[in-house]
Amino acid sequence: MLRLLTPARLGPITLRNRVVKAATYETRAAGGLVTEPLLAWHRTFAAGGVAMTTLAYCAVAPEGRTFRDQIWMREAALPGLRAFTAAMHDEGARAAIQLAHAGWFADPRATGTRPLGPSATFSPHARTWARAMDEDDIARVVAQFARAAALAVEAGFDALEVHLGHGYLLSQFLSPYNNRRRDRWGGSIENRARLPREVLRAVRAAAGDRAAVYAKLNMDDGFPGGLVLADALAVARLLEADGTVDALQLTGGHTGKTPMYLLRGESPLPALFARDPSFVRRTALRVLGRLMFRDWPFEEAFFAPAARRFLAAVTTPLMLLGGLDRLASMEAAIAEGFAFVALGRALIRRPDLVNAFAAGRAAESGCTHCNACVAAMGYEPTTCVLRDAPG
């Protein structure tokens, strides 16, 4: 039997196999709520055999959003969230939810307020200066994560993913690029990790033993002056010592600086330029886009070399993501000691991939890494142009 298809424990829950649908932005949450199209989209992954599918980027507060139509955690969202978990459970899959705050990367057009961050730095995405958080802001954010976690557990989610990656707020505190503080929240990696650790303690306390808790952790930001691997390893050791996480999902790249470090493959810049209705943003993309969306050629399992360092450093179960398209590379990852693999574009290309592996109908997803699905984010429902093209 394929190792990939054997059951595995994630904290208090058991997953039917070792394939997790990673959080990938869906653009199906009109009004900041679960919609039928959003539910149906995730149901295809659950019916296709994944052990768990992840509802992407649910902001813990309205000011933490990156798009206007993005789920944010509140009582009004509970009916839809309950329907989501019930639908995934009906297909035999577990349901995870990604809890996040955009911080410096929040869009004032969506939130109606100035973004905040660890330090007063200019955000190209927000086109304004972020306000440096004070002690009251920090306490409020910790409480917001705890409240969001409690709502997620009430809605029936089996696992809570806390976003410590990709240049969002908790990642900003970890990154020297965003975090230039000289108080107890900045400077050493222990200080920079203080807020993520406090958030995870609060989420763990809210979840208890009713749901698994894991962190999506940047291994590095992908540019000089950002988070580096040695510091990320230190964070992993600290989280393990805290006992707050049941797993770490290892990732990399900074949304505001190096998005292609996470994605690899073809740049979505031409498609982004064609879609964006704003003359100002199109002009900014024309001027700055090539700096952000620099070429990073695709390689199979491109995060594996860095992730192996974590296998040697901690005993916490690890989820490997990043360019896993072939059954052989996924099997190799499990054989090496990774507890799970997390797939994004591979499943967008072929939602039934796990069932196809089990039946011997496929050995790879067929994703070409064109990143057209990425270019649709925030403009239209995320989809695969190869799979869903007319004709």
Task: Report the amino acid identity of residue 211.
Answer: A
Beta-carbon contacts of residue 170 (< 8 Å; ≥ 6 apart): 100, 101, 103, 162, 163, 164, 195, 196, 199
Strands 13-15 and 19-21: unpaired
Give me 360's structure tokens: 């011997």
Quick check: 23 and 54 in contact, CB under 8 A? yes
Give me 195's structure tokens: 């807020």
pLDDT at 275: 60
Determine the length of the chain: 391
Task: Report the amino acid identity of residue 42.
Answer: H
pLDDT at 292: 62
DSSP for 274-317, please give it: HH---HHHHHHHHHHHHHHT--B---TTTTHHHHHHHHHH--S-
- Cβ density class 197-206: b for 16+ within 10 Å, e for less: bbbbbbbbeb
CB atoms < 10 A from the CB of 389, how many?
A: 9
Give me 244's structure tokens: 């707050």
H helix or E strand, kind and range, residue 97: strand 94-100
Q: Which residue has tokens 């996040």?
A: 100
Q: Tell me the C-alpha distance between 253 and 373, whole Å.
A: 18
Alpha-carbon distances, residue 380 vs 22, 74, 230, 246, 371 (angstroms): 19, 24, 38, 34, 14
Domains of the chain, earliest start first: 3-388 (3.20.20.70)
Q: Report CA dihedral (203, 204, 206, 207) to the nearest 10 degrees.
A: 110
Task: Report the amino acid identity of residue 326.
Answer: R
pLDDT at 373: 83
Low-confidence ranges of the chain (pLDDT < 50): 389-391
Residues with a known catalytic role: 168
pLDDT at 390: 40
The DSSP code for 166 is B
